[in-house]
Amino acid sequence: MLEKTTRMNYLYDFYQSLLTPKQRSYMSLYYLDDYSLGEIAEEYEVSRQAVYDNIKRTEAMLEEYEEKLLLFQKFQDRQKLIKQLKQRTLQQYADDRELLQMIEALEKLE
């Protein structure tokens, strides 16, 4: 369950610009601010079921975008390689600040 939440957080992060403002609001409150469905329903004066349906649809959309664009998958692949690169640099060339800075810039670029 926790892993699923982390995944949804990432997918939201990558694809939020493709969502409608309402979808973004609900997802942000639910996943980032940890509101309950009932609290969101109250805030927006809609039924709990309406909020639930909207969030479920949005989650499905995010998974569809990921199936097509693989942004989260590619991000993970890159981060894994960058981590290896950083480890090797720290082990072998710990004095080379410039090299390390380049790798860290790459790491933060996402």
- Minimum CB separation of residue 39 from a copy of itself in Å reads 29
Q: How far is CA 96 from CA 32, 66, 102, 104, in A?
A: 38, 37, 10, 13
- Minimum CB separation of residue 40 from a copy of itself in Å reads 24
**Ranges within 58-77 binding a copy of itself (CB under 8 A):** 68-69, 71, 74, 77
End-to-end, the C-alpha distance of the chain in Å comes to 25
Asked if residue 69 lies in contact with residue 11, where contact means CB atoms within 8 angstroms, the answer is: no
**Ranges within 7-36 binding a copy of itself (CB under 8 A):** 15, 17-18
Query: Given candidates 49, 88, 90, 94, which one binds a copy of itself under the rule CB under 8 A?
Result: 88
